[in-house]
Structure 1
Amino acid sequence: MSLSRFQLCQFLLLLCATSILPAAHADEAATWAALDSGNQVVLIRHASTEPGVGDPAGFTLDDCTSQRKLSAEGRAQAQRLGEQFRQRRIPVGQVWSSSWCRCTDTATLAFGQVKTMAMLDSSFDDSAAAVRQKRLAVAAAVRAKPAGVNLVMVTHQVNITELTGVVPRMGEVVVVSSTPKPDGTFAVVGRLQIP
């Protein structure tokens, strides 16, 4: 029996899906297990926003109406994230956030608490020196965190990429080691995308 090209493509896609999904599930389970044990650093890119890149011209940090905001789906996504942590009884210590409203809203909707930290503010328009300074400030703060609980930081894609090399999707969780490397970057423990 010979297969048509279409049938062969379907078969190959099915084969890939069945070999990738169990590995992805195992990685997700290992990441949740690491969080359950505590002492991890949880980097979260803010939840889904209204369409656009960056913020409108003339935005200010003290006026949320001037910034790109979470979409209705993003608000629901942040709530689902918090619910996953509560259902799994993940120990959460402090919750830090960028000053941008889409980040503070994500943190508040997910965890009910937030402390803004300038070191997590978007580094999109920063100089290389300012980016480095923020990276080293995050590393120093992580070194000083209390042991035993997870530290949550809600920030932006550019900041997470600078810290880990990962380019996360909106709402994605990137779990990293609580021991920064000498250059202030972090080893990735695992990644989670909340459905």
Structure 2
Amino acid sequence: MRYIIALVLCLPTGLWANNWDALRAPDAIAIMRHALAPGGGDPTNHTIGDCTTQRNLSDQGRAQARRIGQALRAQKITFDMVYTSQWCRTSETARLLEYGSPRKAPALNSFFGNPALRAPQTRDLRAQLERTEGLNIWVTHQVNISALTGTGTSSGEIIVFRLTPDGTEILGRIMIDP
């Protein structure tokens, strides 16, 4: 006699499913961590505007960014504007999403190498988010997303949230592939 044992793992939907409807919610804001870029941080002598001095997207990261853009368009998601930090890996990710020319926003720049910038830069980013209308996507770095939303992200992951008087409310997450 054969016995078949099945193990069913029940997880809340938000832990594994992309929440596309979150992008359609009133006041939704999409913030994305740049696509795959091997390593961590940047060399101490990096220069904004000189990609040869920075950590950059890998071929896998470039392909990931393209797939994310394709998946967003397949869901008929449109953005009024794409904002990016001045770092090469975020700018390239934003460009590869293929939603038009990204606009540089210094408030999205990484402060990984200078933690003293966390509070003032996060205040600046929040102020910019409060002034901006429509559905936009903001391509930035893990430290910025964590400081603003209180949650971590994987490379290429999109956090959808709204601003609240006390901080932020996470509406959903979208992760096309690791």
Q: Smaller-chain TM-score range?
A: 0.7 to 0.9
1:118 equivalent to 2:106? Answer: yes
2:65 aligned to which of 50, 53, 78: 78
Letter in 1 for 2:152: V
Normalized per residue, the structure richer in helix is 1
Q: Percent identity?
A: 35
Q: CA deviation at 1:27?
A: 5.0
Please, which of 97, 103, 106 is the counterpart of residue 93 of structure 2? 106
RMSD: 2.4
Give 1:141's match in structure 2, choosing from 128, 131, 134: 128
Aligned residue number for residue 191 of structure 1: 173
TM-score by length of 2: 0.88
Report the CA distance shift for 1:180/1:24 in structure 2 as closer, same or farther (over 3 A). closer
Partner of 2:28: 40
Q: Is the 8 A contact 1:27 1:190 kept in 2?
A: no
How many residues get paired?
176
TM-score (norm 1): 0.81
Alignment of 1:69 onto 2:56:
yes
Q: Secondary structure at the match of 1:61?
A: coil
Give unpaired runs (5+ residues) of structure 1.
Answer: none
The match for 1:60 among 47, 68, 79 is: 47
8 Å contact from structure 2 (residues 33, 154) kept in 1: yes
Highest Rg: 1 or 2?
Answer: 1
Q: Which runs of 4+ in 1 moved over 6 A?
A: none
8 Å CA contact retained: 1:38, 1:91: no
Alpha-carbon contact 2:35-2:64 (below 8 Å) kept: yes
